[in-house]
Structure 1
Amino acid sequence: MSYLIAFTVVMVFMLIGEWISTVTKAFIPSVFITAILFVLGFWTIMPKTIVAQASFDTPFVGICISLLLVHLGTLMNLKELVAQWKAVCIALLGVIGTLVLTLTVGSFIFNWHTVIAAVPPLTGGLVAALLMTNGLKAAGITALVALPVSMFVIHSVIGYPLTALLLKKEGKRLVDNFRNGKAHISKNGPKMTKKAVATQPQQQIFSLPVEYQTPSFTLVRVALIALLSNYIGLLLNNAINANVICLIFGVIAHQLGFLEDNALNRAGVFNWLMYGLLAYVFAQLSLTTPQVIGGIVLQIIVLIALGILGMFIASWLLAKPFGMTGEMAFACSLTALFGFPADYILTTEICRNVAQSEEEEEYLTESILPKMLVGGFATVSVASVIIDSVFLKLL
């Protein structure tokens, strides 16, 4: 029965986060609340293996990531993906701003190894934190092993609310334009919200009768695209991250008619996979303790402040030349702190809570979500891999 207890606890934490987000109109994002609950649980009575006991372990999460990224490709078309090059540039330049301030000012305040160990999580989220932790162990720098994950824990507490605040301001600006008739929903784009998908007729795939287009038929096709993407990633020796290939191939498969709009929502498994992936991310918070964080909290706070300030300066200066508001540009840069799935959850929560109708929610989602997703992939899946490989050699 222990596995059922573990699953219930994990889902209760998710539920509390969602309810608080709803009550506060997304002023307090669900991922922020859920992260705090996991930290407090791990620091008190909750076993550190609770997420694995709830069945959300490494093999399941490997499946989740690939399937979800292919699914997200069905929310976009090729034209839209290419159109997000501005978001990619803003996000990457924000990362450069972080590197400049932390490596210059930070190096004057702290020793070199401390800065090198702490900066990657600011530019690549959890993946970068785990890679740097393993690198520190291999290099024998045991005194700093806890620093990368501790950095991830604390910058998540700062990054989630800050990103939510920026997106809410951007959402209110966009929805005002929509209400005043200055903007409209794209007629040709895929539907991005669950409500919009529910109103769409079942798409004919391969001219099969509707009764044969079962959820398993959708899952098989999504899994095939995910499998092909990971195989290509291996052939390329991960020169292009497999996660990025999953997204791109998902877009292509959708364009070719192999996958329908919003595939996993139509199959009814999207939320299950998303909760599993999110639970696994929060499980990494078990790697820290109050004593460990207490001993390095000063370094973490100062470096986070420098990193976010670097993102702010770069994105705010470049927002106007790239045709974005300062809030949208800064939010794109902040995706480097956490990446997928948090960027998806934060964005959809804000869109749902700012909107007062299904049409407004659809417009906000199609206006903001592609920028956040592509920005997150540019930083966490691409830039972070390069930055990690360089920084590990500098230890």
Structure 2
Amino acid sequence: MSQMLALVIIIFILFVGEIVAIRTKAWVPSIFISAVLFLLGYWTFFPPDIVELAGIPSTVAVMLIYLLITNMGTLLSVQELVDQWKTILIALSGILGIIAVLFGIGTFIFGFKTVVVAIPPLVGGLVSALIMSEGASAAGLTSLAVFAIVIYVLQGFAGYPLTSIMLKKEGSKLLKKYRSGEIKAQNAVKENSTASEPEELKLFSKLPEKYNTDYFKFFRLAFVGFLAYLVSTLLGPIVEISPFVLCLLFGVIARSVGFLERHALLKANGFGFAIMALMLYIFDGLKNATPSMMVDLLFPLIGCIVLGVIGMYLFSFFVGKLLKVSKEMAFAVSLTALYGFPADYIITNEVVNSLTQDKTERDVLLSHMLAPMLVAGFITVTIVSVVLAGIFVGFL
């Protein structure tokens, strides 16, 4: 298969996913449809390396992750991170729910080691899945090594549609209040990064606008990403901190001090391509899920995901009630553990676009939903899951 044919096919799949999301008003997320089509493709005629063949190897994907996460940080303010303490507690409660239900019930159904291998990938991303997979292999548990990867790859099939449903319900209620005058736009978008607040590059205030080129924006994003990597490396002997977590934090700081503008990657005309490439890299993980493997792992796979989602819902519901957060928003926030970034960003925007095209109403919805979804995704997937994997791998 030629490079351009591979590129045409996989981008067409993303386009089909978008069409379905538009036609169903985001009740069926584009990510879900694209994941299904990729899975079918790998089971039929796709070469295993179709994504790399199309021009997106892992090195390019990792580079784009640095840029994208740093850019995501510019969508948040320092005050917003402080204000998201409720989100953090709810996200952590969802993870506790997964652990409690799987250890309390799942152990008796699937066995202790299966549950141990399942939990970190279920509440996290690729890093935690790889840690558990390698740990299982080292312990001679070949099938569980595969299971760790498969549960990471397929957990989104539950998370994508459930999140879309929860956010649509939450957004519809908020729009109803806004349109009835119960809430005001200026209050709803208070301190929201998507609000139309003045943009100012304080550190470059004397720089003529004509010199603030796309390359200069890319350079500043890359520099902040490099600082995150450097600090993560320097702290390595003391404490393990993912450079991606630091990218988010440094992005927030860089915008606050005026080194980066809000949504710098979009202003540099690179956001769309970066999201496309990262999504293709994520779907590339489906090449490991063969039909026979899926049949063998189907029961523990579905069982662990179902039990995990139930535990997530129960714990997030009660904690959300205590913190006076709606059950829909609390559940949506906890569900970010099943996919993380960039799916949390994409699904939230798809839902908002499906509910309204009015700019002010979109700002109202995004101010309420986007920051919690982004923060929750990084807390669960990028931070907690890696910590859990480091602990749980010792149980094998």
**The two structures share one fold, judged by TM-score above 0.5:** yes
Aligned-partner Cα distance in 2 for 1:135–1:183: 53
Aligned to 1:113: 113
Aligned to 1:361: 362
Q: Displacement, 1:153?
A: 3.5
Code of the aligned partner of 1:223 = A
Code of the aligned partner of 2:86 = K
* Contact kept? 2:167, 2:329, Cα under 8 Å: yes
Q: Displacement, 1:203?
A: 6.4
Aligned to 2:154: 154
Aligned-partner Cα distance in 1 for 2:146–2:220: 41
1:183-194 alignment runs, 5 A limit: 183-185=184-186, 186=189, 189-191=192-194
* Contact kept? 1:315, 1:329, Cα under 8 Å: yes
Structure 1 residue runs of 4 or more that deviate by more than 4 Å after TM superposition: 200-204
1:29-48 alignment runs, 5 A limit: 29-48=29-48
Aligned-partner Cα distance in 2 for 1:364–1:49: 39
* Contact kept? 1:25, 1:353, Cα under 8 Å: yes
* Contact kept? 1:27, 1:161, Cα under 8 Å: yes
Three-state SS of the structure 1 residue aligned to 2:392 is helix
Aligned to 2:77: 77
Code of the aligned partner of 2:30 = S
1:231 equivalenced with 2:234 (yes/no): no
Aligned to 1:215: 214
* Contact kept? 1:14, 1:30, Cα under 8 Å: yes
Aligned to 2:93: 93
Residue 275 to residue 141, structure 1, CA distance change in 2 (3 Å): same
1:281 equivalenced with 2:286 (yes/no): no
1:295-310 alignment runs, 5 A limit: 295-310=296-311
Gaps of 5+ in 2: none
Q: Displacement, 1:295?
A: 1.0
Code of the aligned partner of 1:54 = A
- Once the two structures are superposed, residues 329-360 of structure 1 have per-residue CA deviations (whole angstroms, 9 ceiling, x without a partner) of 01111111111111111111111111241111
Q: Displacement, 1:201?
A: 7.9
* Contact kept? 1:229, 1:245, Cα under 8 Å: yes
Aligned-partner Cα distance in 1 for 2:211–2:35: 41
Q: Displacement, 1:149?
A: 2.1
Q: Displacement, 1:188?
A: 5.1
Aligned to 2:377: 376
1:256-271 alignment runs, 5 A limit: 256-271=257-272
* Contact kept? 2:131, 2:390, Cα under 8 Å: no
* Contact kept? 1:274, 1:341, Cα under 8 Å: yes
Aligned-partner Cα distance in 1 for 2:240–2:369: 29
Aligned to 1:327: 328
Q: Displacement, 1:178?
A: 1.9
Aligned-partner Cα distance in 1 for 2:250–2:200: 22
Aligned-partner Cα distance in 2 for 1:201–1:28: 35
Q: Displacement, 1:381?
A: 0.9
Higher mean alpha-carbon deviation, 296-305 vs 30-39, is at: 296-305
* Contact kept? 2:194, 2:366, Cα under 8 Å: no
Aligned-partner Cα distance in 1 for 2:107–2:158: 22
Aligned-partner Cα distance in 2 for 1:84–1:142: 40
Aligned-partner Cα distance in 1 for 2:331–2:21: 22
Q: Displacement, 1:108?
A: 0.9
* Contact kept? 1:320, 1:326, Cα under 8 Å: yes
Aligned-partner Cα distance in 1 for 2:308–2:220: 41
User: What's the TM-score once normalised by structure 1's chain length?
Assistant: 0.95
Over aligned residue pairs, what C-alpha RMSD do you find? 1.8
* Contact kept? 2:317, 2:327, Cα under 8 Å: yes
Code of the aligned partner of 2:111 = N
Aligned to 2:346: 345
Q: Displacement, 1:242?
A: 1.2
* Contact kept? 1:128, 1:384, Cα under 8 Å: yes
% identical aligned pairs? 39
Aligned to 1:312: 313
User: What's the TM-score once normalised by structure 2's chain length?
Assistant: 0.94
1:130 equivalenced with 2:133 (yes/no): no
Aligned-partner Cα distance in 2 for 1:103–1:287: 27
Q: Displacement, 1:57?
A: 1.2
Q: Displacement, 1:187?
A: 5.6
